[in-house]
Chain A
């Protein structure tokens, strides 16, 4: 037996098996179900799908979802950059604890997060009486849903930015300082451009998470159609009302939002200067 043909063929074969395995797995877990959702949405024609996503409740759910994303993503981005800078560039007591606490939203089930918010801000919660006296309703209303969304999507920007900040080091910032730049100028002109891809990726993940959040928002929202129903809650609502086209159509809208987010990141990346 020639020793030269066998070893060269074996990796080729195993590579093929590996590739097929990965693709098959992806198809089974991701492409199949998502494709099926798309198929079911348009099963009864484009008009039926369009009618389902343009009902007042569906439209309201869409805009509420966009609103939650529009509030929580910028806040978490600013917080994320600030927290990452504090952890990487500064030494302060409790830094390690702070660093670990940031992962709490990953570790705690969103349902528990929702319950915790109810316990703190609910009618019988810590701030409940004070809030009620001032006419502010947090639970079963948008503020509570914003809180829940912020909480569950908190760590993404921080976790993306920290390794990038570590990698770029402090020399460029120090160089800017010796050239006369103020801390703010240094941050805006040197640090921010250097970490921009980490931030962009963190924003994409935060957006995706905020779009798709179900558990925590579900607990604090009270599920009032046309008032406190996000797209994910709307999907559940339609599903339970046996309006399958409505459920699938809303799912497709969610999927399209996510795809738009990913596409805008890809576009930004293409336009970016060489780093």
Chain B
């Protein structure tokens, strides 16, 4: 189902958490709400789920205005940051909870739970308690639990936030595949731009309760709408007045038109790439990233004078 959020505002006392936000996601899409902590992205997700009531604005899901519908009637699957497992229930009872309270017959619940546990790769864990699962397993259990009731939209609050780096990477790819399989409209909240880029089709960048930009991962990276987006979605370095991504700099040992003279302070080897920490004659730092091959061909070393020129400028569009 599509989701349309119109002029939604939410305050907690004096704090404006969401300040007049409008955006839409189409049916079957996978969207990331990206922003720093306190940007209002989690509150926005909770407003869509009905876990918070907006002070103003409308929430429309699948063409029907759901602003005044209680959370339990919204048919929204919600996965909490810390998964909120029902600690006193087994994995099977956790996943079957939504079906059980809908009075679905026992044998159908069993079949559906088995199907879901297979989907999230927890086949052998049905009789365990949440405390006997790892973080990643708990997360997948929470996902299966949310999917059990066949929600019209799936909302995930920092789905990978509490996991270690390796599990995180695995689950990202898995969520992406799962979405291709299940096709349910999905919005997830993250503060990690790399995660948003890798998983989402559309990114909504938020800051201080407002939307800074809505676009594809490529859009927000290459054509950021504001200084904030520019800095938040990737590294930025300044050459004179121009803002540029460090890997969009040409580095050469001979002067050229439009190139700025700088001295290499440090060469940092990052495996496939090499980062150069440069300083201009005015004492301004520049950070450049080039391939290892290019660095070897130029025979770069500390203290050397180089000439850098942006080959693709970033410009705040607004």
Where the two chains meet, the residues of A that have a C-beta atom closer than 8 Å to any C-beta of B are 171-172, 174-182, 185, 189-190, 193-194, 273-275
Contacts and interface: CB of A to CB of B under 8 A. Distances in A.
Contact of A190 (B49, B80, B86, B145): B86
Interface stretch (B94-102, B206-214, B254-262, B287-295): B94-102
B78 A176 contact: no
Contacts of A185: 101
Interface residues of B, number: 29
B131 A274 contact: yes
Main secondary structure of the interface of A (DSSP, over half): helix
A178 to B, nearest CB: 4
Nearest to B142: A175
A179 B51 CA distance: 12
Given A179-B101, A180-B72, 14 more contacts: A172-B87, A174-B84, A175-B84, A176-B97, A177-B51, A177-B70, A178-B49, A179-B97, A180-B73, A180-B149, A181-B97, A181-B101, A182-B72, A185-B101
Given A174-B78, A175-B78, A274-B129, A180 B101 contact: yes
B77 interface: yes
Contacts of B163: none
B146 interface: yes
Given A185-B101, A274-B129, A178 B88 contact: no
B261 to A, nearest CB: 56
Nearest to A192: B88
Contacts of A194: 87-88
A171 B142 CA distance: 12
A182 to B, nearest CB: 7
A194 B88 CA distance: 7
B88 A180 contact: no
Given A178-B71, A180-B98, A189-B101, A172 B149 contact: no
B70 to A, nearest CB: 8
30 contacts: A171-B84, A172-B84, A172-B85, A174-B51, A175-B84, A175-B86, A176-B86, A176-B97, A177-B51, A177-B70, A177-B72, A178-B49, A178-B51, A178-B72, A178-B74, A179-B72, A179-B98, A179-B101, A179-B145, A180-B72, A180-B73, A180-B98, A180-B149, A185-B101, A189-B101, A194-B88, A273-B88, A273-B129, A274-B129, A275-B87
Contact of B80 (A171, A189, A273, A274): A171
B76 interface: yes
B82 interface: yes
The interface centre, meaning the residue of A189, A193, A275 with most chain B CB atoms within 10 A of its CB, is: A189
Contact of B71 (A172, A177, A275): A177
Which 8 A/B pairs are nearest by Cβ-Cβ distance? A171-B84, A179-B98, A175-B84, A178-B78, A193-B88, A177-B71, A180-B72, A177-B72
A172 B122 CA distance: 21
Contacts of B129: 273-274
A274 B89 CA distance: 9
Contacts of B148: 179
Nearest to A178: B78
B185 to A, nearest CB: 15
Nearest to B97: A179
A180 B148 CA distance: 11
A64 B301 CA distance: 95
A178 B87 contact: no
Contacts of B50: 178
Given A180-B72, A190-B86, A275-B87, A174 B80 contact: yes
A195 B142 CA distance: 21
